[in-house]
Amino acid sequence: MKNQKLWILAVLTLALTTTPLAVQLSGGQDDTQNKETNVSTTRISSKSDAFQEEALPVFSRTPIKYGAYGKDVYELQGRLKYLGYYAGKVDSQYGPKTLKSVKWFQWKFGMKADGVVDAKTKLKLYNATKAWRPTEPYPGGGKATATTDGATNTAKANRTTAAGLVSGNTMGLSENDLKIMANAVYGEARGEPFEGQVAVAAVILNRVKSPNFPKTPSGVIFQPGAFTAVADGQIYLEPNEQARKAVQQALNGWDPSGGCIYYFNPRTATSKWIWSRPQVKTIGEHIFCM
């Protein structure tokens, strides 16, 4: 009987001493599982971050035309090269080789082969090159990545400025030039039809291109006696969205004036000289002339 009691006591003692060890071992396994779960989560997060870094550039909304430059052209050339339509250097310059490649692509995909990379051409090109990744460094420096949801995240040359204007353009104009052009359009023609406002912006650009005028929009606009809005101070009024859009349309190549470098309002014009200029057309209250 005494031996039986000693035996039961020994069994109970052994049970009590082994229980903490079992709990500890169990806890250790749980910690290991938690660590493995954390490592797995970290790996998934890292893969997600890597995917974000590899996200494709996406074209801006501005049509890409011959003579353009910047990251839109960089992406255009890269995608065309990926498909085998372009064999030149990815230099972000829309020159003759790029134009030929664009027209070839448009023709192959049943579109109008005019070399203008509009929304339809961009969509066709994007859908045909979803696996494309940039393989050559962007000449202007910086990363050529953006989101895949259609929003541009390109560099300054193709970004919408605070004034609501796209600074990417074939003439290499600064944001200040674009802003002062919108001011001029608003001050000179805010009561005119939209076509007339675009025509005023086009006149400014036509003067910049002419050897007889200053080489920048600011120089043209602030040339003594050139614009009434400068003389009466309306140049400093904050432009509205329509004036900004008019400037953008002119930058995109729309010139309702037909290449004119002058315009005037026949009801308010005081200069006899302006009446001597060859008149091209009338838009709203303005006569546009050469």
Domain ranges in the chain?
71-147, 175-289
Output the pLDDT for position 161.
41
Q: Tell me which architecture the domain covering 175-289 has in CATH.
A: Orthogonal Bundle (1.10)
Q: Tell me which architecture the domain covering 71-147 has in CATH.
A: Orthogonal Bundle (1.10)
User: In the structure encoding, which two tokens stand for residue 18, read together?
Assistant: 């082994």
Output the pLDDT for position 169.
58
Q: Is the pLDDT of residue 144 over 70?
A: no
Q: Give, in order, the Cα–Cα distances in Å from 215 to each of 165, 190, 208, 219.
A: 20, 25, 5, 7
Whole-model pTM: value is 0.46
Contact 244, 250 (CB under 8 A): no
HSE, side-chain direction, 13 A CA sphere, residue 242: 12
Cα separation of 263 and 200, whole Å?
8
| Top-confidence range, 1-10, 70-79, 128-137 | 70-79
- The partner residues of 69 in beta bridges, in order of sequence, read 93
**Choice between 2 and 113, residue whose per-residue pLDDT is larger:** 113
Q: Encode 77-106: b = buried (16+ Cβ within 10 Å), e = exposed.
A: bbbbbbeebbeeebbbbbbebbbebbbbbb
Q: Write down the mean pLDDT value for the chain.
A: 75
> What's the rounded mean pLDDT across residues 95-122?
89
Rounded to an integer, what is the distance from CA 261 to the centroid of its chain? 30
Nearest Cα neighbor of 127 from 60, 56, 48 is 56
Output the pLDDT for position 47.
38
Contacts of 41 (CB under 8 A, 6+ apart): none
What's the DSSP call for residue 276? G
Which range is least confidently modeled, 12-21, 50-59, 70-79, 82-91? 50-59
**Choice between 34 and 181, residue whose per-residue pLDDT is larger:** 181
pLDDT-derived band at 96, boundaries 50, 70, 90: confident
> What's the rounded mean pLDDT across residues 69-94?
87
Output the pLDDT for position 39.
41
